[in-house]
Copies of this chain bind each other. A is one copy, B any other.
Amino acid sequence: MEEAVKRILNNVKEGKIDVDEAVKQLKLYPFEDLGYAKIDHHRKVRQGVGEVIFAQNKTPYQIKGILESLTRNNAENIIITRLNEEAADYLKDKADIHYYKEAKIAIVNEKKYDEPFGSIVIATGGTSDMPVSEEAAVTAEALGNRVTRLYDVGVAGIHRLLSNYNELADARVVIAVAGMEGALASVIGGLVDCPVIAVPTSVGYGANFGGLSALLSMLNSCASGVSVVNIDNGFGAGFLANMINRMESCK
């Protein structure tokens, strides 16, 4: 791994490639092989944020191993998602962890931001959508964004949403989290002129079919500027919102 990086940097030094080229090459290369996982230390270069650990279906022992590999070079704000309480307890002594229970996220070596960046609004249809919206919110905050929460503003009481029109209008990105009929994304999409990331949740019962109703509803949104992530994928929404929020003016 080291070699690959050295070779690239030497090429820069010797004028064979320029810096832009080197950055591109670095983005494609190195990772560390733990056997059960291949850790990608250069992801921060490639995608602008450090490695994220998706804990679901991994043993606590595997998570610990990945964590050790990542923290060897003092990485900060490592995000562990879908981490249940038992695994969080197991990791507590092994690393400097802040566990967000409702979001089921742990932040390792957390470093709070003095001035959170831009403005992401997260709106939910109902109280029951909070675990998913908190996953989005904690993710976005751990990546340095300012997050405004508008919870329980579902479309069946449209006045609750409209009375928060100002917050929506000021957002650079909106994340709309809703289960059941998932109509929140369309209504918000029609009100704002920034990108709306729709997160269907599996909240509901009966013909909800595990989030299918909200998913299909959001994919069929008649509002423009709306795109959809997987059911209950709060992390994905928070991550993408960070990307968009950090866009700079085109040169």
Q: Which residues of A contact B (CB under 8 A)?
A: 24, 27-29, 31, 35-38, 40, 43, 46-48, 52, 54, 56-58, 62, 117-119, 125-128, 130, 151-160, 162-163, 165-166, 169, 172, 179-183, 185-187, 189-195, 197, 200, 202-233, 236, 239-240, 243-250
Residues on B with beta carbons closer than 8 Å to the beta carbon of A182: 181, 183, 217, 220
A225–B237 alpha-carbon span in the complex (Å)? 8
Residues on B with beta carbons closer than 8 Å to the beta carbon of A24: 165-166, 169
The reply to whether B221 and A180 contact each other, CB–CB distance below 8 Å, is yes
> Known contacts A24-B166, A247-B249; can you find 17 more A-B pairs with CB under 8 A?
A38-B160, A40-B157, A52-B224, A54-B126, A117-B250, A126-B222, A155-B155, A155-B183, A205-B230, A205-B232, A207-B219, A213-B217, A219-B228, A225-B240, A226-B229, A227-B228, A227-B229
Residues on B with beta carbons closer than 8 Å to the beta carbon of A224: 47, 52, 156, 236, 239-240
Pairs across A and B, CB under 8 Å, 10 listed: A38-B160, A47-B192, A47-B225, A158-B187, A179-B220, A206-B210, A208-B220, A213-B220, A227-B236, A248-B248
Partner of A207, one of B29, B157, B220, B239: B220
Chain A residues touching B, majority SS = mixed
